[in-house]
Amino acid sequence: MRRALTATVAAAALAVPAGNAAATALAQSKPKAKPKRRVVTVTKRVAGSEVYAGRWGPLRVTLVVKRITTIVGAHRTVKRTIVGLDVPVYPDHTDRSVFINQQALPLLEQEALQAHYSPNVDLISGATDTSMAFVESLQSALLKARSI
Amino acid sequence: MSTLPGLRRVEHVMGMPVVADLRDEDLGEDVLEEVFDWLRWVDATFSTYREDSEISRLNRGELGLAGARPEVREVLARCEELREETDGFFDARAASPDLLDPSGFVKGWAVDCAAAILEAAGARNYALSAGGDMRLRGRAAPAWCWRVGIQHPLLRDAVAKVIETRDLAVATSGAYARGPHVIDPHSRRPPSGILSVTVTGPDLGAADAYATAAFAMGGGRAPHWTARLRGYEALLVLADGRVLSTPGFPASSSAASPNVRPGTGVP
């Protein structure tokens, strides 16, 4: 249940691009008794728990929360504001993959690298930048050979 | 052995040798002119080595995207789609965020368009190859398919595999003797653990971009990513000597004894 709740919170936070826009203010105010005031500001980074978003992988949200405590005599007013939002662990589109990959990898066929010399081929596929001279040379030779 | 039917031409264009090998009987030379005229136009429009190309003018800020030719906008839009599809590993801005260089896609795309020119002229059996990436169509001769050798990444005069195919695009990306050319756009370093990637499929522009992206991913990530390709097949040569291929990668019926074509007796 807690996990699901965290996911909901994380999703809600993610839905708003800027943390500031989603600023949550938890304020308790009481009437001022005396004019003497003291303000204490603390900024903290708060990490949410890592949530597994189904097959999409884990997700974690951290918030930067600024807490302003205003003390007037025996009364204190606490105001908290979200000033930043970060997603240090997110369901990487690629690593959705963790799930799919584990199924996909055995699908690949594996063999050892072989070398075939003077194969009877029409064309050679190779990396342009590096094997160009070789390809060009071999290609023209192949064309000549076939027109004789 | 009689001379093969059709027309053949090799020209250096777009900074690489381009081979047009037409095996249909009754085609006029003018279709070859049309193909190479097109490729020269592509070079003049897209080359980053030409000061007056549209890409160079875009990079210097002299030209806005809205004022660019529709072909340029089409290519840049496809590059962006491919960047997203490849998780950013194919990136027309891989070299620098300020410089557009769509050449990695342009070559294959230009060959795809050239193939359309050939089709319109009635060609049904041909190979078009630009610097080692190619489109094949029909048959090399009535009795045999096109045979394509995949360059061995470590031995200059050998191929790692021979495939036989019809109607397919084949693109290879790799780093051979002269060192790495492709960089991982994320780490800005050459990829590791992988020697070459060959991708086959219906479209050479995409196959080329996928091969470049998979190679940039390196040996750890590329197998997983290529295993998920749809409509395209891949063969990866890893640095540890393993060769991985997707189940649909085209096979050769006679890779072990490829020196004689069945029924021809020609070496």
For chain B, residues with pLDDT lower than 50 are 1-2, 177-180, 255-267
B169 contact A CB<8A: no
Contact indicator for A82, A23 with CB cutoff of 8 Å:
yes
ipTM, 2 dp: 0.82
Q: Which residues make beta-bridge pairs with B129?
A: B19, B134
Angle, CA B86 vertex, CA B83 and CA B89 arms, to 5°: 75
Q: Is B34 helix (H, G, I), strand (E, B) or coil?
A: helix
Q: Looking at chain A, which residue has its C-alpha nearest residue B212?
A: A127
* Strands across the sheet containing B242-245: A109-112, B242-245, B233-238, B194-201, B168-174, B133-137, B126-130, B16-22, B7-13
| Residues of chain A numbered 32-61 and touching chain B (CB < 8 Å) | none
**pLDDT for B229:** 92
The nearest CA of chain A is from the CA of B3 a distance in Å of 5
B229 contact A CB<8A: no
**Dist. CA A125–CA A135, nearest whole Å:** 8
Beta B233-238 vs B194-201: how paired, if at all? antiparallel
- HSE-CB at B237 with a 13 A cutoff on CA atoms is 24
Four-CA torsion B149, B153, B154, B156, nearest 10 degrees: 50
Four-CA torsion A10, A13, A18, A22, nearest 10 degrees: -150
Question: DSSP characters for B103-124?
Answer: HHHHHHHHHHHHHHHHHHTT--
Q: Is B214 helix (H, G, I), strand (E, B) or coil?
A: helix
Please name the residue that has the structure tokens 């093969």: B4
Q: What share of chain B has pLDDT > 90, as a percent?
A: 62
Please name the residue that has the structure tokens 């359309």: B116
**Dist. CA A116–CA B14, nearest whole Å:** 30
SS3 string, A101-121, reads: HHHHHHHCEEEECCCEECCCC
Return the CATH number of the domain spanning residue range B7-138+145-245. Answer: 3.10.520.10
Domain range summary for chain A, segments of one domain joined by +: 2-98
Q: How does pLDDT run across B101-144, given as a tens digit for each residue?
A: 998 899 999 999 999 999 999 999 999 999 889 999 999 998 88
Q: Is B186 helix (H, G, I), strand (E, B) or coil?
A: coil
Q: In chain B, which residues have their Cβ closer than 8 Å to the Cβ of A129?
A: 178, 181
CA A27 from centroid of its chain's CA atoms? 33
Cβ contact (<8 Å) for B148 and A123?
A: yes
Encoded tokens for B10: 């090799």
Q: Which pLDDT tens digits describe chain A residue by residue (148 residues)?
A: 344 434 434 444 443 333 343 344 444 455 555 568 888 888 877 766 665 544 445 556 666 678 888 988 888 888 877 666 555 555 444 443 444 444 445 578 888 888 888 778 888 888 754 334 444 444 445 455 444 4
Contact indicator for A111, B156 with CB cutoff of 8 Å:
no
Q: Is A57 helix (H, G, I), strand (E, B) or coil?
A: coil
**Residue B223 DSSP code:** H
Residue A44 φ/ψ, nearest 5 degrees: -135, 150
Q: In chain B, which residues have their Cβ closer than 8 Å to the Cβ of A120?
A: 147, 258-261, 266-267
Contact indicator for B25, B126 with CB cutoff of 8 Å:
no
Contact indicator for B241, A112 with CB cutoff of 8 Å:
yes
Domain range summary for chain B, segments of one domain joined by +: 7-138+145-245
Q: In chain B, which residues have their Cβ closer than 8 Å to the Cβ of A105?
A: 223-224, 227
Cβ contact (<8 Å) for A97 and B224?
A: yes
**Residue B185: exposure state from Cβ atoms within 10 A (0-12, 13-18, ≥19):** buried
A102 contact B CB<8A: no
